[in-house]
């Protein structure tokens, strides 16, 4: 079952990873081995979690890469569903 309006993975990172650890964006970016700009884009929902970022998050925070990719997929799919009625497609019969 799909979640109703799931949060962007960046929001999850902020609330469940950075905030409890009292880690700044700069510190987290250094730990992840990415630029502050890259992490900031994810945290502010301007960029998504790629497979490589998912691996970095899993290694840094002791989570699974699959969970991060699943969060991103749920977020993307929910937003795609919101645009469904505007898609121009035709059904093909086999």
CATH code of the domain containing 70: 1.10.260.40
- The answer to the question of residue 70 being in a domain is yes
User: Considering the entire predicted model, what is its pTM?
Assistant: 0.89
Angle, alpha carbons 82-88-90 (nearest 5°): 120
Enclosing domain of residue 51? 9-86
* Number of domains present in the structure of the chain: 1
In a domain, 62, yes or no: yes
Structural domain contains residue 1: no
Query: Could you tell me if residue 2 is inside a domain?
Result: no
Q: Is residue 91 part of a domain?
A: no
**93 in any annotated domain:** no
Three-class SS state of 56: helix
In a domain, 38, yes or no: yes
Q: What is the pLDDT of residues 2-45, one digit of tens each?
A: 668 999 999 999 999 999 999 999 999 999 999 999 999 999 99
Residue 15 lies in a domain: yes
């Amino acid at each position: 079952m799909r979640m109703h309006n799931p949060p962007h993975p960046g929001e999850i990172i902020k609330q469940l990873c950075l905030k409890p650890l009292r880690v700044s964006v700069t510190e987290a970016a250094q730990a992840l081995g990415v630029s502050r700009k890259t992490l900031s884009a994810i945290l502010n929902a301007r960029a998504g979690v790629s497979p490589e970022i998912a691996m970095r998050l899993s290694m840094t925070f002791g989570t699974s890469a699959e969970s991060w990719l699943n969060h991103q997929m749920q977020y993307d799919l929910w937003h795609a569903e919101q645009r469904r009625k505007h898609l121009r497609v035709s059904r093909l019969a086999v």
